[in-house]
Structure 1
Amino acid sequence: MKKQTSQADVSLNRSLGLWSALALVVGTIIGVGIFVRQAAVINDAGSAKAALFAWLAGGLLTLAAGLTIAEIASQIPSTGGLYAYMEAIYNKFWGFLSGWMQIIVYGPAMIAALGSYLAILVLDFFHLPSFWTLPIALGSIILVGILNIFPNRYGGAFAIITTICKLVPVAALIIFGLFFGHADAFSQSVGDLHTTAGGFGVAMLATLFAFDGWILVANLGGEIKNPKKMLPRAISLGIMLVMVIYLLVSYGVLKSIGPAKIHELGTTAIPYIANQDFGVWGGKALSIGIIISIIGCMNGKIMTFPRIMYAMAEEKQLPGSKWLSYLNPKTRTPVFAIIATLIIAGLMICFTNPDRISELCIFTVYCFYVMAFVGVFLLRKRNPNQVRVFSVPLFPFTPIVAILGSLFVIISEITSDPIGVLVSLSIVAIGIPVYYFKVMRPRQATK
C-alpha cells in the first residue's frame, strides 16, 4: 500500500533561486506606478530637474530601507517577512498586527487595485464595453491565483518571464527618449501652469508608491534556497536595478514630450508617447507590455501575501487556522490561504475602491517599517557576537536614513490625509480583539 503523506510531513518547497527571487523583487515593484506617476511627480516637483531628483531620492530611501531589511532577513530567514521580523524582534502582538494589516486589507487591496487597472487597460485595448470591467478584473486575479496553486517553481518562472517582457516597453521608452527625444525638458517648468504643487517632499512621496512592494519577496523566506544569502542579494540588487530603470524612464519621458505636456496629459502621458513615437502598432505593443507588467506585479503579490496568512495560521493566530495553514501534499503550496486572499480581493473589486484602500494602508505599512528598521539596532545589541552573513553597509547611517525617510512619509500622510490615517489605524485596531480571542484567551485557558 502507498503510504499517505500526513500534513505534518508536508513543508514549503525550498526551490526558488536567486534569479526567481530577483525577478520577484523587480516584478513586484514595477507594476503600473512608473507608467502613471510621471505627471503626479512633475506636478508636485515643478520642474524636470526636481522631478528627477525626487525619483532619485525615493530610490535612495527605498535602497536604504531594503539594505536595512536585508540584514534582518539574513538573521531571520522565515516565511512571513515583516510579520516574522516584528514577532522575532518585538513580540507576538506586534507581529500579529503587522500581519493582520497585510493579509486582511493591504495585500488584497493591492491585488484588487492591479486587477481593476488591468481591466481598464484591456477594455481600452480591445475597445470592449464597460460591462466587461468586473469580469476581467475578477478573472485576472483568479487565473493568476490558479497558477500559484501549482508548485512555486511555476510562479517563479512566470515572474522571470513577465519581468523580461515588462522590460521591453521600459527599454523602448528609455532608448527613444535618450536618442530621439527632442523636447528641451530641462529648461521648462510647470509652475506657471498650476498653483497647487505640493513641493519636492510630496513629489518624493509620490515616487515611493511606485517603489512599493520591494519587501514582499521576504515573505517567501521558507521557499528560497539559502535565504540568508539569497534574500539580501535579491532585495539590494533588485531595488538598485529598479532605481536605475525608473530614473532612465523618467528622463526618457521628459526628453520625449517635456514637463508641460506631461502635466497636460496626466496619466495618459505614456500612451500618448507610445502613439506619437511608435505609431499605432507601436502604441499597441507598448500597451501589451504594460498589461504584462501589471500581470507580473499581480503574480508577485498573489505569490507572497498568502504566505503571511499561512505563517500566521501555522501559529494558530487566525480564525480557520487549520485550513489556512494547509499545504497541498503534491504542490506544497498554501492552497486555502491563496483562495482566502483572492476572495477578499474579489470582494474589494466588487464593493470598494481598492486603489484608495491600498493608499490608506501605506501609512500603517510605514509605521511597521520604522519599527523594523529600529530592529536592526536591537538585534545587534542583543547578539553582539553573532556572525552576520550580510551587514547593512555604512551602519548606522543607512538604517538612520531609512528611519528618517519613513518618518517623513508618516508625517506627510498625517498632514495631507488625517481622515485616511484614522481609517488606517481603525483597520489595524480591528485586529486587537482577534488577537485576544485567538492568541491571548487560549493561553489564559491553559494556565
Structure 2
Amino acid sequence: MSEKQLKKEISLTGALSTVMGTVIGAGVFFKAAAVVSQTQSAGLTLFAWLFAGFLTICGGLTVAELATAIPETGGPIKYIEVAYGKLPSFLLGWAQSIIYFPANIAALSIIFTTQFLNLFHLDAQWLLPVSIITACSVTGINLLGTKIAANVQSFTLIVKLIPIFVIIIAGLLTPGQVEVSIVDLSIGGDKSWAAGFSAALLATLFAYDGWLNVGTVAGELKRPEKDLPKAIIFGLSFVTLIYWVINLVFLKTLPIEQIAGNANASADVAGILFGDIGGRIVTLGILISVYGALNGYTMTGIRVPYALAVKNEFLFSKQIKRLSKRTTVPYVAALVQLVIASFMMSIGTFDLLTDMLVFVMWFFSLLIFAAVFLLRKRQPDMPRPYKVLLYPITPLIAMLGGGFILVMTTITTPILVMTGIGITALGIPVFYYLQGKK
C-alpha cells in the first residue's frame, strides 16, 4: 500500500496504545528466571531491564524514520530492500518465516504448557505433547478465519494487562520479604560482569520484542513528525517502567535463588501475594495473556511466507500461497509454520529458542539502523515526515547496544549463534534458485 492510499486517521492516543500493545507480551512474566540466573543480583537484574528499555527506545526512534519515509506493506523487509537490495530483504523474510515466528510460537507454547502443568499439578512428561497441542489449537483458531483470530487477539489484549497491574499494585502495597538494593550493580556467581550482563540483556530483549514494528502505523498518523516520536518515547518508557516495577515486585517477594531458573516464578509470586486461590486466578490470567501472544505471532507469522509466495519469492510458492476456500486463510503456510514450531519444541527450551530469535532479529536490526545513515547520504531528497531525534547520537547508541549484544552472544553461546546464522544463510542458495526460476 502506498503512502497516498493510507488515511491519516490515527491520533497520539491511538499510536500510544499501538506501541504498548505491540510490545507488551508474555516475556515480562517468564524472563525474570533467565535474567536472575545470569546476574545473581537484584540491582544488576533491574539495571538490565532498564538498559534494554533504553536500547529499545533508541531502536524504535531510529526505525521510525524509515517507517515514515517508506510506509509500505512489509515494514522492516521493505526498509532493507530499499537500502540493500533484494537478497538481504529476502533473507530477513526467510529468517522470519523459518526462525523468528516458529521459534516464538514454540517458546510461547512451551511456557504456556509449563504454567498449565504447574497450575493443575500435572506431570512434566506432558510438556512436549501439550505444547504441540497448544500450538495446534491456536493454528486451528486462525484457520477458522481472520475475524475469529482477531477477536481472540482483542480479548487477550485487554486480559493480559490485568495480571500485570494486579501483581504490581499488590506487590508494592505488600511489605517486602526480601531486601532489594537497586544501586548495587555487582554480579553474583562466577561469571564475568560483561558475560553475565550481556546474557541477561539478551533475555530481557525478548520481553521487548515487537518494537521493530512500532513504526508500522507511521503512514496513518495525523502528525507523524510530532506524534510518532512521542508515542515511541512515552509508550516504550511506560512499558520499561512496567517491566522494571514488576521485576522489583518479584525480587522483593521471592529470594534470588527461588527466582533463578524458575519458570514458575510469576505463579509463585502470585501465590504469595494473593493466597492459593487468588494466585491460581492470577496465573489463569497469565495463561490467557500467553495464549494471546501466541495467537498474535501465529496470525502474523502465517502472512510473511504467504506475502513472499504471492510474488513467487519463496520455496513451493504455488502451495504456500494457497488460500482456504471458505475463510481465505493461507492454510498451507499455517501448517508449515506449525510443523517447524513443533520440531523446535522437540529440540529446544524456552530460553534457548528466545535467545536464538532475539540474536537473529537484532542482526537485521543493526542493518536497519545503518540504513538510516545510508539512505540519508544516498537519497537526501527522500521525503522524511519524521527524522530521528538527536541524529546521529540516537541511531549510534542503538547500533552500539545491538553490536554489544551480538558480540557477547557470539562469545558466550557460539553454537546458538552459528545455528541462527546457518539457518539464515540457507536462504542464500534458495534466493538464487528462485531468481533462476524467474
| TM-score (ref. length: structure 2) | 0.84
CA–CA distance in structure 2, aligned partners of residues 244 and 42 of structure 1: 18
CA–CA distance in structure 2, aligned partners of residues 304 and 288 of structure 1: 25
Per the alignment, do residues 378 and 324 of structure 1 end up closer, same or farther by CA in structure 2, a change over 3 Å counting? same
Q: Deviations over 1:20-76 (max 9, x none)?
A: 986675455444322232243344445333322221101010111112112212222
Contact persistence 2:44–2:186 (CA under 8 A): no
CA–CA distance in structure 1, aligned partners of residues 183 and 231 of structure 2: 38
Q: Paired residue for 1:281?
A: 277
1:430 aligns with 2:426: yes
1:239 aligns with 2:239: no
Q: Paired residue for 1:254?
A: 251
1:75 aligns with 2:69: yes
1:360 aligns with 2:356: yes
1:259 offset after TM fit, Å? Answer: 4.1
| Structure 1 residues without counterparts, runs of 5 or longer | 1-12
1:194 offset after TM fit, Å? Answer: 3.5
CA–CA distance in structure 1, aligned partners of residues 306 and 40 of structure 2: 45
Q: Deviations over 1:215-269 (max 9, x none)?
A: 2567x779x9669959878766653332121011112222333546545x74343
Corresponding letter in the other structure for 1:442: K
Per the alignment, do residues 187 and 338 of structure 1 end up closer, same or farther by CA in structure 2, a change over 3 Å counting? closer
CA–CA distance in structure 1, aligned partners of residues 289 and 415 of structure 2: 32
Q: Paired residue for 2:107?
A: 113
1:315 offset after TM fit, Å? Answer: 2.3
Corresponding letter in the other structure for 2:295: N
Q: Deviations over 1:333-355 (max 9, x none)?
A: 54433333223223333x42263
Q: Paired residue for 1:407?
A: 403
Q: Deviations over 1:93-142 (max 9, x none)?
A: 11111111110122112101211221222222223445644443233223
Contact persistence 1:80–1:307 (CA under 8 A): no
Contact persistence 1:83–1:95 (CA under 8 A): yes
CA–CA distance in structure 2, aligned partners of residues 289 and 78 of structure 1: 36
The farther-off stretch of 369-378 and 176-185 is 176-185
CA–CA distance in structure 2, aligned partners of residues 404 and 190 of structure 1: 21
Q: Paired residue for 1:336?
A: 332
1:373 offset after TM fit, Å? Answer: 0.7
Contact persistence 1:190–1:260 (CA under 8 A): no
Q: Paired residue for 1:195?
A: 190
Percentage identity across paired residues of the two chains? 36
| TM-score (ref. length: structure 1) | 0.83
CA–CA distance in structure 1, aligned partners of residues 163 and 32 of structure 2: 15
Aligned counterpart in structure 1 of residue 203 of structure 2, from 201, 206, 214: 206
Contact persistence 2:69–2:382 (CA under 8 A): no
1:161 aligns with 2:155: yes
SS at match of 1:319: coil
1:424 offset after TM fit, Å? Answer: 1.9
CA–CA distance in structure 2, aligned partners of residues 251 and 119 of structure 1: 25
CA–CA distance in structure 2, aligned partners of residues 228 and 89 of structure 1: 25
CA–CA distance in structure 1, aligned partners of residues 253 and 30 of structure 2: 16
Q: Paired residue for 1:10?
A: none
CA RMSD of aligned residues (A): 3.5
- Paired residues for 1:130-169 under 5 Å: 130=124, 132-149=126-143, 152=146, 154-169=148-163
Per the alignment, do residues 233 and 147 of structure 1 end up closer, same or farther by CA in structure 2, a change over 3 Å counting? farther
Per the alignment, do residues 20 and 296 of structure 1 end up closer, same or farther by CA in structure 2, a change over 3 Å counting? farther
SS at match of 2:312: coil
Corresponding letter in the other structure for 1:403: M
Corresponding letter in the other structure for 2:405: V
